[in-house]
Every structure is written in C-alpha cells, then in structure tokens.
A = this chain, B = another copy of it.
Amino acid sequence: MASTLHITGSNAAVPDAATQIEIYRRMSLIAQNDEASRKIIRSGRLMMPYYSGRGQEVIPSAISVNLDDSDQICTIYRGIHDMLAKGVPLRVLWAEIAGRVTGTCKGKGGPMHITHPASGAILTTGIVGSSMPIANGLAWSYKLDKSRRVAIAYFGDGASNIGAFHESLNLASLWKLPVVFVCQNNRFAEHTRYENGTSVDQVSKRAAGYNMPGFTVDGNDPFAMYAAANAAIARARDGEGPTLIEAMTFRFHGHVFGDDDFYMTKQEKAEALAKDPVAGFRGRLIAAGTATEASLTALEAEIAAQIQDAVEFALSSEMPPLEELLRDVYADSGVA
C-alpha cells in the first residue's frame, strides 16, 4: 500500500480542548436528535423511513471538525448524523423530514435526499454505493478550481461490495482527487452480517487494489477518528489524492425504524450498547478535566432546546403547495 499517511504514534493529530468539546457537542446533537426523531415517529406525528445513526456519532463528528462549510459531503439514507455533524441547521432539516415547504428541499426530497449547499451537505442518496462516484465529481471540481477543498463520501460496509465502490476508488486514485472515502462499518448491511456479504475481513484492505492508503480505525474513538480524518483530509488538500478510511462502529437501533434486530445476538448488541460512544466520550472529557459535568449538562440542555424549537418549527410549517409537484423537474419547470 503506497501510503504517505501517518496517523499513529507521534504523528497523530490530537484535537485541542475546544475541538474535543466541539466533537462532543456534535455527538450529543446527533444522539439527542435521534431520540427526538424516534419519539416523534412513535407518536405517529411523522411518517417516514428512518435510518438511525445512533451509535455512529463519533465518525462524522470527528471528521467534520476538520472541515469547513466549503468542503462537501455526499451521504446516504443513513446520513442524518452526517448532516448534523456537518452543520445542516436543525429547523430546515426537521422541516424537510416532515415534508414541509420550509424544509431544505421544500419537502420534496425527504430524509433520504437532504441537500443543504450552504453547509456543504450537497447530496444524500438512497442508492447503496452512489455517494462515491458523485463525490469524485465534486472533488474534480476543486482540483479544476485549484482550491484546497475536500469532499467526503460516506457509505456503509455493505456498500463496499457494489460496483460503484470499485469504479470510484479506481478513478479517484488515478486522478488523485481530493476525496476521502469513509466506510462506516457498523457490521451489518440491513440484516446481513458483514462476513456474509464481504469476502475480505477488513474493507480497508481493498485500498491496496487502488494503490490508495486505506486503514481501519476505531470509529467510536474520537481521538483515533480525528487523527485519521485529519491525516486523510490533509493529504487530500495537499493534492496527494484520496484515502479510504474504514471506521468500525455499531448501529444501536437496527437498520430502519421498526427493525427488531433479530439478526443480532443479544450479547453483541448489549456489548455495543454498553460502550455507548456518547456516554463514553462524555466521561472521558470530564475525567480528563476538559469539561465539567455542569458545562456538558448545559451544552446538552442548549441542544435539547434547539431540537425542540426545530420540531415545533417543522410541525407548524406549511405543506408544499401542489405546484411544487411540477416545479424543479427542469430549471424552467413551473416558472410562468
């Protein structure tokens, strides 16, 4: 593997205290937002396919603190955690999920197709594997622009078995595109265990087939994840090309809302829950003296209020007018 990447030992980047708190803030936002989402779906006030990112908070949080708004992400149906970490504002996100005209996409995209260009959340796809070829194109534009922007393609472990993965990594490596491929390996693709769908024991081993650095990282460890992201993003910005990061994690709430997890062992699930990355990092921040119980509680309360506000905003917003059905098909559709 032709890696020019150093993410271990003395070379590993370490987030400073403020950055650690910021990572935690994003994680808490994701976790609390997930709680709110599931509650409101259970209540019957929202009807949508909901793919929870609970348990996977660290990955986009530790990555996104290395990005700014001009950097773009392509994510997938299970991507609300990625969007929140990237800074998609809560109100428009909730309004979109609720199918309201005030949503990011006027209610027309829904949870699987959120786009919010201002925060760099440029595309969400419902087709497994399809975040990657498009992320390449974003990255190509930065290269043409001679900018230092970077694109992140999020995808799951199951997606690493589909053709688009292969084509994308090959092209990105060949063209030295500033893109980071982030596989959120939560060990399951719908109901299929990693090893029943994937012939190799670690997705990262596939990077060698594209002469690309690839490595597996504990996606539930904010420090490890931060260091990996930092290195891969720097590499991309420096024009050295793409990186494949496989971030090991676990999804707490099944594939989609309503999934009863029958395909997991009770034990593996219990073990994962016991290692809740949100609670874990919280404890670590306090133990290290980076934050106090009080400061985090205050942060969490603020987030809770923001979520509450967003839900209310969404549910009190209007539905899109019927003209929206024919608008945006073409640039001039529905324009009188």
Interface, chain A (partner B; CB < 8 A): 161-167, 169-171, 173-174, 196-201, 205-206, 208-212
Distance between Cα atoms of A296 and B164 in the complex (Å)? 49
Distance between Cα atoms of A42 and B198 in the complex (Å)? 49
Q: Which residue of B lies closest to A204 (CB)?
A: B209
Q: Please determine whether B210 and A200 come into contact, CB atoms closer than 8 angstroms.
A: yes
Distance between Cα atoms of A171 and B200 in the complex (Å)? 11
Distance between Cα atoms of A210 and B208 in the complex (Å)? 11
Contacts of A169 in B (CB 8 A): 199
The contact of A211 among B166, B200, B209, by CB within 8 Å, is: B200
Copies in the complex: 2
Q: Which residue of B lies closest to A129 (CB)?
A: B163
Mostly, the A contact residues are helix
**Contacts A163-B167, A167-B163, A170-B161 hold; do A205 and B209 have CB atoms under 8 A apart?**
yes
**What are 14 A-B residue pairs whose CB atoms fall within 8 Å in the complex?**
A161-B170, A162-B166, A162-B167, A163-B164, A163-B166, A163-B167, A170-B199, A173-B199, A174-B196, A174-B198, A199-B210, A199-B211, A205-B209, A208-B208
Distance between Cα atoms of A196 and B173 in the complex (Å)? 11
Distance between Cα atoms of A197 and B199 in the complex (Å)? 25
The contact of A209 among B162, B173, B206, by CB within 8 Å, is: B206
Contacts of A201 in B (CB 8 A): 211
Q: Please determine whether B200 and A208 come into contact, CB atoms closer than 8 angstroms.
A: yes
Chain B nearest CB from A271 CB (Å) reads 26
Interface pairs A-B: 8 shortest CB-CB: A163-B163, A166-B166, A206-B209, A173-B199, A199-B210, A209-B209, A174-B199, A200-B211
Max chain B CB contacts within 10 Å: which of A166, A169, A209? A209
Q: Which residue of B lies closest to A162 (CB)?
A: B167
Distance between Cα atoms of A200 and B174 in the complex (Å)? 9
